[in-house]
């Protein structure tokens, strides 16, 4: 109720109670009736107005434009003469297109559509939605806050990655021409039996159906799982440009995950970083797994990571639960390790696993001194689309 409706009620009550003339009293009744009808009109609008988001979970990479859609439906029996719907994009830039003034007929639907751009990785909340409307005379304006929020995950930037094989087995699920590496989980075809085929190759169901022995062939592949050890302990990075260097390191880890997943690779993640905004201090540990859905889960974790201000040793963190399977490769990503930490890591791996180092370039180290015998060292460049450079 605003000032206009209160004024009409006062005038109407005065005319009805204190004026002895019926004609004047009817004017008072009319004023009171108009206020009552306006109140009922606003309540009908409020009960029949439905506002919902098209998507509650949005995902994007850095600098990618995301479309937000809000559906507005007037399910009441009366039209809405003017309706203002505004969404709160939070810290995201929307170009002031996140609000709309409209009018809706009874049963009509409309949409509020606007675009946002995630400039930095992270998890963002969009909302709540605010609504303002009133009856045709504007006597009962209503303002509502609808706690309908969406969640936007902005992934780290992903760069193209090349992994040349210098020695040993490549990282990934690699197709080969040798039948020695046939993968029995990857069906290829059925062919006629050839003398010398192993008994386990014989497809008895197909042989019975076709009336002759047939053998099964599988795709020849080499699968080498990878566990990524991401160092986000703040104290291990130089103070100068620490934020830029840790962000570049997270981009490197995301690029490796994306590259390995595209090759059908099993990949996992362990890190000293913490989930930003979490009620408890959580350092994620994601087991080695396959599939794009698993990789997307890792990317979402990377999007929400923040540096750890506590003095957490990434090698100790890894060795606490070092239970990776035989043959799994370990990719260390982060600031260069000390000689003692590197020796402890190499010793713990033994011949069960191989190690690859991706060191962040902070512009203050002599890279020739970081060469490690029997371990390939890559430099994570400070900027540019070429993410890695081989150093040793």
Q: Can you count the helices (H) and strands (E) in the chain?
A: 7, 22
On the question of pLDDT at 154 being above 90, the answer is yes
Q: Tell me, what's the pLDDT at 335?
A: 92
pLDDT at 103: 93
Name which of 139-153, 233-247, 354-368 the model is least confident about: 354-368
* Size (the chain), residues: 392
For residues 135-146, give the mean pLDDT.
Answer: 89
Going by pLDDT thresholds of 50, 70 and 90, the confidence category of residue 391 is low
CA 206 to chain centre: 45
Interacting residues of 346 by C-beta distance below 8 A, sequence separation 6+: 355, 375
Quote the pLDDT of residue 332: 94
> What average pLDDT does the segment 219-236 reach?
81
Give residue 183's pLDDT. Answer: 45
Per-residue model confidence (pLDDT) at position 388: 85
> Residues of the chain with pLDDT > 90: what percent?
42
The string of DSSP letters for 110-156 reads EEEEEEEE--S-EEEEE--EEEEE--TTSSS-EEEEE---EEEEEEP
The whole-model pTM stands at 0.74
Kindly give, in sequence order, each residue whose CB lies less than 8 Å from that of residue 104, ignoring residues fewer than 6 positions away: 72, 74, 79, 80, 83, 110
Other beta carbons within 10 Å of 376:
18
pLDDT at 274: 93
Mean pLDDT of 117-130: 91
CATH label, 224-390, candidates 3.20.20.10, 1.10.10.60, 3.40.50.410, 3.40.50.720: 3.40.50.410
Could you tell me the pLDDT band of residue 324, with boundaries at 50, 70 and 90?
low
Mean pLDDT on 286-303: 92
CA–CA distance, 50 with 157 (Å, rounded to integer): 37
**Lowest model confidence (mean pLDDT) among 177-186, 221-230, 317-326:** 177-186
Angle between helices 292-303 and 242-262 (to 10 degrees): 170
Cα–Cα distance between 104 and 125 in angstroms, integer? Answer: 28
The number of beta carbons lying within 10 Å of the beta carbon of residue 18 is 10
Taking the domain 48-155, which CATH number applies? 2.60.40.10
Q: What is the rounded radius of gyration, in angstroms, for the C-alpha atoms of the chain?
A: 33
Question: What pLDDT does 323 receive?
Answer: 65
Output the pLDDT for position 364: 75
Q: Which residues contact 7 (CB under 8 A, 6 or more apart)?
A: none
Mark residue 23 as left, alpha or beta (left: phi above 0; alpha: psi -120 to 50; beta: remaining).
alpha
pLDDT at residue number 218: 57
- pLDDT band (50, 70, 90) for residue 163: low
pLDDT score of 83: 94
- Mean pLDDT across the chain: 84
Q: Which residue has the higher pLDDT, 371 or 212?
A: 212
Query: Which residue did the predictor score with more confidence, 271 or 163?
Result: 271
- Mean pLDDT for the stretch of residues 334-344: 88
Model pLDDT, residue 189: 64
Flag the least confident range among 60-64, 114-118, 221-225, 269-273.
Answer: 221-225
The residue ranking higher by pLDDT, 365 or 322, is 365
Q: What is the pLDDT of residues 178-216, one digit of tens each?
A: 444 444 444 456 777 777 677 777 888 878 888 888 887
In this structure, what token pair is assigned to residue 243?
């934020």
* Rounded CA separation 281/290 (Å): 27
Please report, rounded to a whole number, the percentage of residues in the chain having pLDDT higher than 70. 89
Q: Using 50, 70 and 90 to split pLDDT, how confident is the model at 385?
A: confident
Mean pLDDT of 81-90: 92
Q: Kindly state the average pLDDT of the residues 241-262.
A: 93
170 pLDDT more than 60: no
3-state secondary structure of 352: coil
pLDDT band at 106 (very low <50, low <70, confident <90, very high): very high
pLDDT score at 392? 52
Q: Judge whether residue 222 has pLDDT over 70.
A: no
């Amino acid at each position: 109720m605003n000032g206009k409706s209160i004024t009409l009620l006062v005038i109407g009550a005065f005319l009805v109670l204190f004026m002895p003339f019926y004609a004047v009293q009817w004017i008072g009744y009319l004023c009171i009736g108009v206020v009552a009808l306006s109140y009922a009109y606003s309540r009908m609008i409020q009960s029949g107005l439905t506002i919902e988001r098209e998507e509650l979970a949005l995902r994007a990479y850095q600098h990618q434009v995301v479309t937000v859609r809000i559906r507005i439906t007037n399910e009441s029996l009366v039209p809405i003469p003017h309706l203002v719907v505004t969404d709160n994009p939070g810290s995201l830039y929307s170009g002031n297109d996140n609000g709309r003034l409209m009018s809706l007929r009874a049963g009509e639907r409309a949409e509020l559509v606007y675009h946002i751009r995630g400039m930095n990785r992270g998890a963002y909340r969009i909302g709540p939605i605010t609504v303002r409307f009133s009856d045709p005379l504007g006597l009962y304006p209503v303002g509502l806050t609808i706690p309908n929020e969406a969640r936007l995950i902005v992934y780290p930037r992903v760069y193209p990655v090349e992994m040349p094989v210098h020695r040993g087995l490549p990282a990934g699920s690699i197709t080969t021409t040798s039948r020695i590496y046939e993968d029995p989980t990857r069906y290829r075809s059925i062919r006629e039996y050839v003398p010398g085929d192993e008994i386990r190759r014989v497809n008895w169901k197909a042989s019975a159906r076709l009336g002759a022995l047939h053998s099964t062939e599988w795709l020849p592949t080499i699968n080498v799982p990878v566990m990524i050890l991401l160092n986000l302990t703040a104290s291990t990075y130089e103070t100068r440009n620490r934020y830029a260097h840790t962000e570049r390191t997270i981009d490197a880890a995301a690029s490796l995950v994306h590259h390995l997943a595209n090759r059908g690779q099993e990949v996992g993640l362990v890190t000293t970083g913490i989930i930003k905004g979490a009620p408890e201090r959580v350092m994620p540990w994601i087991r080695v797994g396959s599939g794009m859905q698993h990789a997307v889960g890792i990317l979402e974790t990377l999007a929400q990571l923040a540096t750890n201000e506590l003095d957490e040793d990434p090698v100790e963190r890894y060795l606490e639960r070092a239970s990776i399977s035989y043959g799994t490769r370990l990719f260390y990503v982060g600031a260069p390790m000390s000689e003692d930490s590197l020796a402890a890591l190499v010793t713990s791996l033994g011949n069960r696993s191989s190690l690859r180092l991706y060191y962040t370039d902070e512009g203050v180290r002599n890279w020739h001194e970081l060469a490690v015998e029997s371990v390939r060292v890559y430099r994570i460049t400070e900027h540019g689309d070429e993410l890695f450079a081989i150093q040793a």
